[in-house]
Chain A
């Protein structure tokens, strides 16, 4: 197992290099002169030249890249243009709500997705199977921001039904559970739908396996056959989907945080794009990429723990 993890980490090195090259080149792909942008509209040519020197923009590209890498490794991601504070501290400050949002949404989508998927699979071809799958298709096709707005409309602002106001939850912020419910629902719905569909097809495949027949022939209760014998096997492909889903969630977080005015990393990036605060965007994207890479390593590890057939080495 240890060798496997080490090997998997080694394998991510090229990915990380790719990511840093991408974020590094962001600085150079933006229209206009970064030094001009950072120094401000009213800066004199001398000030711009000074800024260019400070940013190292006069060095050859490879040198600039290695300077950048050195910064990344030591945690120095430059300074925010707007606040002048270190990018790393700005980013880390905002990281927590985003990670919480992604983790809660993942838990929600896994929970709902598994239950719905198993439910549908066991009733293969029946009415409830079709219903679950139709609902899942809806969940999958709803645009994130629209769902968020609808939830705010009906569950935060609320409407009156028989004299009861449905505005139970908060429409913005992140901290109390009232604030967290709607963003998590918004972000988790699509994931739940994907996981439900995946679980269903995976369960259907597993239910037809010979070892399920063996379990039944042993006198095992149907409930135990489904949850003990079938589900554990059906989970194996689902885990991979959950990992990929986590990446989508991080992307989705940008929208959701904006809709719900959560001070997370996603919103920070969006705001920084608007304010042309490129060091922040660069740092934020890098952190997202790193998170995604490491979540996928974790998923691989879980996958191998579940799937006894794969030799760890």
Chain B
């Protein structure tokens, strides 16, 4: 097995809520509430879930864009949370991020060349004399012409700007790229181009991706492994095929069944589970299993006991789900209430 590049252990990210007469902290938004996972070198791990599940917060916490409340983040054998601010900045060379809206994260008054030069400058990995060539190479690598380097970001289309974002991330030869909804804002035809590009770059530069997304079609196509989150917790984790073809957690099943398929007469008309209600607030998450308020299989036990991630003997290695009844549901001895 490949080397573990990123180890996240019991990561928690609570955001305080101020209020009351004197503006004290009266509660917390438990955005990420104790999650653990590993990412191996060269693989793509996707974190999926609906808004408020904590997937983006997880990415930000790993990068220390927000300081995590507690937990451990080990990257390439080093504890990121123990690093000083200065050392962390240095370390960011190895952990790059691509956001959903590349335009929001680049200076509109800089040309692409200046943007890339700045990135190279900060991390100082390429000698000054070679930077011009490096920039030309980067532009070609992400499918833009080297001659476009002196244009401003607004002269590019959305898809091209995302390529600029990728070029900037690549410029410092990172080990891990965290892509936070990197292709979500793009039109289908452009999205496909960017996905193909990201896969190509992964092969060429043996990159590791932590891919945060809500579009499960994209996730299936790009990932080796998938983490499903719900209200700040991991409910299921496993290799892509297991998650999509053999989901164990009722939430994963509902999520997959809710996606409309571009086929008016699917071969096997799947049974759609339509979940009732909304995702509860992460301020006062439900006790026990957080999904119990919407779960068609929930019992009294689910309201009290917090289920742990575990594997069953019929599940593939590394595939784990956090449901008290996963085995019974699989065997058909525990049935849905609606």
Contacts and interface: CB of A to CB of B under 8 A. Distances in A.
A302 B23 CA distance: 21
B19 interface: yes
A7 B21 CA distance: 5
A313 B21 CA distance: 8
A310 interface: no
Nearest to A313: B19
A6 B22 CA distance: 10
Contacts of B22: 7, 10
Interface residues of B, number: 5
Give the interface residue-count category, chain A. under 10
B78 to A, nearest CB: 42
Nearest to B21: A7
Interface string A1-19: 0010011001000000000
Most A CB atoms within 10 A — which of B19, B20, B21, B22? B21
Interface string A299-313: 000000000000001
B284 to A, nearest CB: 16
Contacts of A313: 19-20
B323 to A, nearest CB: 35
A16 to B, nearest CB: 17
Interface in A3-59: 3, 6-7, 10
Contacts of B20: 313
A4 to B, nearest CB: 10
A10 B24 CA distance: 14
A54 B21 CA distance: 42
A6 B23 CA distance: 12
Contacts of A6: 21
Nearest to B23: A7
Interface of A: 3, 6-7, 10, 313
Interface of B: 19-23
Given A10-B21, A313-B19, 7 more contacts: A3-B21, A6-B21, A7-B21, A7-B22, A7-B23, A10-B22, A313-B20
By Cβ-Cβ distance, the 8 closest A-B pairs, closest first, are: A7-B21, A313-B19, A3-B21, A6-B21, A10-B21, A313-B20, A10-B22, A7-B22
9 contacts: A3-B21, A6-B21, A7-B21, A7-B22, A7-B23, A10-B21, A10-B22, A313-B19, A313-B20
